[in-house]
Chain A
């Protein structure tokens, strides 16, 4: 399997002081859909723009199809399609005019009509861009990336701000591109998006990769498959530190099947491998301490749990 995108020890320092990317190494194979996942300011946009040849790195090496950006940038540009995090396309051009414009830059573009059809924009092809909804604008942005018939698609937060249905539409487009042999690199801060869309992903925080692998692999490695959440209170007393203190945490950790313990306000979260062993033991333990269970739930572990586990923070704190 050939490598399509590689970068080695990438660093970017803005204005000599903001260290946005601090030593990032990626190997992305042909035909892969790779995700960069991370909170605001993690350095995702900086990384992807360096890979796209739009931003100079402070140090480190980038190769696309084995070529550096300095070798033959025009040829590389023919091969990649890009959607930036924020581009405002000209409002007073129609959708078709916009696509025709972008198609004209490539040696062998796809037929604009075909791309519009694929992105379900045919109906809107004579509307002004300024009159499109947010989701339609995002699809148009992806259409401008696809019309050049690229081999790699770079998408920087393609679904941010979209409703669930529009997001799913975009996922289908990305999968369709991948099915035809294309390679995709996208950034997102939606966990579910990364889980469903990406073959592999890297979790980025403060400019470094803190974990990398397939979504299932990451969840498996770092969190256990299930999460048990509960609250307890001492009998008849539910004020203050209701779920007991940290001393209790050692007890929870000792329960069978528990991988790790985490607290969020008054809720205790256990990462567990086998909930059917953990829960009976938990109930017994609560009773034994003379506490009362206020709340209990179990769910599948997600990348969010992985992230919180790794950083102690939530991915989206807004």
Chain B
């Protein structure tokens, strides 16, 4: 019974210390509670993330920049004003005056330019339509049938000029502009960016981080202590959830403040979806990281896993554009499920219960990955 005889000896020698230090340094030997390891692991993980400028940029700033850039590039012009150019010459000023006096004047903005400059600007898309007054009092339109706004503009301008010239409408009609908030591109985009961001940071924040720690032999050092392995994984997941709340809050807040995006679903539902997404992708990240020894190999693997979802899961454009036969596969991807559920909740105010199919897809991906990852995981 070597234990009985040797172990207490070492203890006794050290027991002298605590009493002393309790008096002078105010640092009595402490007894750690069940969760002390977990809390410390969570704390250092968050500290490390905070101290890593790249993480702050890619996780928080980059999605906002992407939303801002794409939101501006694809913004809807207010009530679709037709921008037209009138080719200078006889009758040009008269044409502008006719347009301004027409009932449609609020929807048309006209400028006069020399012929060459006018046609060039039209071809570059600066104007939707070019108008050339003819010597006989008629007009010639230059329009581009491939550009929807050009087609619209031709109809609009023609109606304006005809009625200014005295044509009477056969029946009276009235119109009302109604650009539904929630149906614009930015409203489509932001939930997609949210989903993509949750995928990115789940895969990198768990998968890459783990392999990096394995490569540094830090995982091995940790399992050489009495640390509970479940605490370690739990802390890593918790850190993802903390980050998730900030990511979702920032991006949604940004959409609401800058683009007046409507959020119809409850913030609780959105956060819950975010949490499920973050944890599922964390599970997939764990699986990609379960054996890789080098960060280079896990980086390749992570990109390989994420690439199809960037393209097919409807982040930037609707996946309806892909052939019908592929839809079932696309819908089985975790990011598709997350994006669709986020859009339904945020834009349409759908209840979580109505999203149960998509949630199931997410939970299955995350759950199966997690179980396999634990089975194959190497700490050393």
Interface residues of A (CB under 8 A from B): 2-4, 30-31, 52-55, 63, 65-67, 74, 77-80, 82, 84, 86-90, 92-93, 97-98, 100-111, 113-114, 144, 148-149, 151, 180-183
Contacts and interface: CB of A to CB of B under 8 A. Distances in A.
A104 B224 contact: no
Interface of B: 1-3, 5-7, 9-14, 17, 21, 25, 27-32, 36-37, 39-41, 43-44, 47-48, 51-52, 216-218, 220-227, 380
6 contacts: A92-B48, A102-B225, A105-B37, A109-B30, A180-B10, A180-B14
Contacts of A80: 224
Given A106-B225, A106-B226, A151 B47 contact: no
Contacts of A110: 17, 29
A102 B40 CA distance: 9
Contacts of B17: 110, 114
A90 B31 CA distance: 25
B25 A67 contact: no
Contact of B217 (A2, A88, A100, A151): A88
A92 B52 contact: yes
A85 to B, nearest CB: 8
A258 B51 CA distance: 65
A210 B293 CA distance: 34
A193 B203 CA distance: 46
B2 A106 contact: no
Contacts of A101: 40-41, 44
A108 B29 contact: yes
B228 to A, nearest CB: 8
Q: Which of B43, B44, B223 has the most CB of A within 10 A?
A: B44
A181 B12 contact: yes
Contacts of A109: 29-30, 32
Contacts of A183: 10
A84 B5 contact: no
Contacts of A151: 6-7, 10-11
Given A31-B9, A74-B226, A113-B27, 20 more contacts: A4-B2, A30-B6, A53-B224, A65-B7, A78-B226, A82-B225, A84-B221, A84-B224, A86-B217, A90-B44, A92-B48, A93-B48, A101-B41, A104-B39, A105-B225, A110-B17, A110-B29, A114-B25, A151-B6, A181-B12
A63 B14 CA distance: 23
Q: Is the interface of B mostly helix, strand, loop or mixed?
A: helix
Contacts of A111: 21, 25, 27-30
B217 A87 contact: yes
B12 to A, nearest CB: 7
Given A108-B32, A182-B10, A3 B225 contact: no
Contacts of B222: 105
A104 B40 contact: yes
A100 B40 contact: yes
A87 B214 CA distance: 10
A236 B9 CA distance: 69
Contact of A113 (B11, B25, B39): B25
A90 B47 CA distance: 11
Contact of A82 (B47, B216, B224): B224
Contact of A114 (B2, B21, B218, B225): B21
B223 A106 contact: no
A2 B6 contact: yes
A315 to B, nearest CB: 25
Given A101-B41, A114-B25, A107 B218 contact: no
Contacts of A104: 32, 36-37, 39-41
Contacts of B43: 97
Nearest to B223: A54
A66 B2 contact: yes
A183 B11 CA distance: 12
Contacts of A52: 224
B30 A108 contact: yes
B32 A107 contact: yes
Contacts of B39: 104
A92 B209 CA distance: 14
A272 to B, nearest CB: 42
A77 B225 contact: yes
A3 B380 contact: no
A30 B10 contact: yes
Given A90-B44, A93-B47, A111-B30, A66 B3 contact: yes
A146 B76 CA distance: 65
A105 B227 contact: yes
Contacts of A2: 2-3, 5-6
A30 B9 CA distance: 9
B36 A65 contact: no
A87 B221 contact: yes
Given A84-B220, A86-B217, A148 B32 contact: no
Contacts of B216: 87-89
Contacts of B380: 54-55
B223 to A, nearest CB: 7
B218 A65 contact: no
Q: Which of A67, A74, A114 has the most CB of B within 10 A?
A: A114
A48 to B, nearest CB: 11
Nearest to A94: B47
B216 to A, nearest CB: 4
A90 B6 contact: no
Contacts of A54: 220, 223-224, 380
B130 to A, nearest CB: 60
Contacts of B3: 2, 65-67
Q: Which of B28, B30, B39, B48 has the most CB of A within 10 A?
A: B30
Contact of B1 (A66, A77, A87, A97): A66
A53 B225 CA distance: 11
A228 to B, nearest CB: 45
A181 B226 contact: no
